[in-house]
A and B are shown apart, each in its own frame.
Chain A
Amino acid sequence: MKIPFLTFAIAIFAVSAGGAGAGNFWASCNYATAQANQSLTRDGAQTYSYTAAYEGYQWGGGCWNNNDVDEGWGDPPQDVNTHGEGADCSGLVFKTWKESENTSNGGLYYWNPIRNVHGPYTAASFRDGVGAPNGLISKAVAGVMDGFASGTHVGLIFFRGSGGWDQIIEAKCESCGTNIMSETYRSQSAYGGIRRIGWTG
């Protein structure tokens, strides 16, 4: 009698929100037009980026609901078709930095967290300063809401640390999600300093 009960319990867990890769979170996202915006402050960007914390990670994604639960945890990595909750690393930077989907447009656009958008940039694009809104900065002077990017990952400085360590807000991986993490990107040669052009405060 125990085996059928155990099988039933596993099945229930697998189809619930706690199960790996459950559901299609993108069905609850929207595709509204971005709102042109005049303000891009570093503390505002900090606040916005933190809404993504605990919301998970989705390869190619950019949509979360700010309830501090990852409704798409444990999907296979680097599969855009899993349609889970959260941004990936470059999607989080794109939305936090209020960028346009058009790379020649350096203007400011507010994207609601639940708006599903990733943007045209990869981590390597940010590392190389591709696009009108993106620039490079010496790692030594990179501060709050500037970032560090390599060919495969990008994150933003939430608090500047010391000794090569910083508190980085980053969409890191399917299993580790999005959060503020202590990282040594400032001292790693694979990472370059990046900045948003056009801060208003």
Chain B
Amino acid sequence: MDRLTGIAVVALAAAAAPPPIPGALVTTVQVRRAGELAATLRECRGRAQRDWTKQTVVVDRRFGRRRSLTYRALDGRSLASCDSIGVPIERRRWCGAATGTLYGGRLRDPRLVLCEPRSGRPIGFIWVTPVRRARWIGVAAGDRTTLYRVAVGLPVRVSTDRNVRIRGSTATFVIRQYAGNGEVIRRRTIVARVAG
């Protein structure tokens, strides 16, 4: 574990406990340097121009077999992601790579990526921009909520297999943002469309 990862893990551990939601699933998050993930980033970003250095901070999130990487690109104005559902699609381990443009530090579009496995439900990934004071992002699906810890001030890459529609290339996310004390500070339903 290098110094940054150590600091990040300590900082995240010291952050607020997850909000007390019965049956909530808590995803894992690690803050890493791109240098540790160089081969992975080259693989998932494909033919893209390299937009990171070894020192670039990467947020590595895992939920079951799903995984996403998020980092701020070298131009400072865009975010990049790699998204995986844990099964190869068309022989690719990473089924999507999104790029989002920041306007005043915020995304106007959550940059939906759809991953369609041969069997099973399609899965959609989007970024959610945390509001001020938000420490956790919750994605509600039926009676289940999946929680993602906010990390290093970057938009949070979340995923769902509910309400993902191949016809229309859309996905609907029911989002709750929580403060450190567990208070819900924002409720929003995001209907994301593939774009750009």
A43 to chain B, nearest CB (A): 28
Task: Name the B residues within 8 Å of A118 (CB-CB).
Answer: 169, 193-195
A179 at the interface (CB under 8 A from B): no
A90-B195, A192-B47 given; 10 more Cβ-contact pairs under 8 Å: A77-B108, A78-B103, A88-B196, A91-B195, A118-B193, A119-B169, A119-B194, A120-B114, A121-B194, A122-B195
Inside 8 A of A190's CB, which chain B residues have their CB?
48-49
Those of B119-159 within 8 Å (CB) of chain A: none
The chain B residue sitting closest to A128, CB to CB, is B46
Within 8 Å of chain A (Cβ to Cβ): is B40?
no
Q: How large is the interface on A (under 10, 10 to 19, 20 to 34, 35 or more residues)?
A: 20 to 34
9 contacts between A and B (CB under 8 A): A78-B196, A103-B114, A118-B169, A118-B195, A122-B194, A124-B48, A128-B92, A151-B48, A152-B196
Q: Which of B48, B98, B107, B167 contacts A127 (CB 8 A)?
A: B48
Chain A residues with a Cβ under 8 A of chain B: 59-60, 76-80, 88-91, 101-104, 117-125, 127-128, 130-131, 150-152, 189-190, 192
Say whether A104 contacts B48, CB under 8 Å. Answer: no
Q: Which residues of B contact A (CB under 8 A)?
A: 45-49, 90, 92, 95-99, 101, 103, 107-109, 113-114, 116, 118, 166-169, 193-196
Q: How far is B96's CA from A152's CA once the two chains are assembled, in angstroms?
A: 13
Cα distance A192–B46 in the bound complex, in angstroms = 11
User: How far is A90 from B168 in the complex, measured between Cα atoms in Å?
Assistant: 14
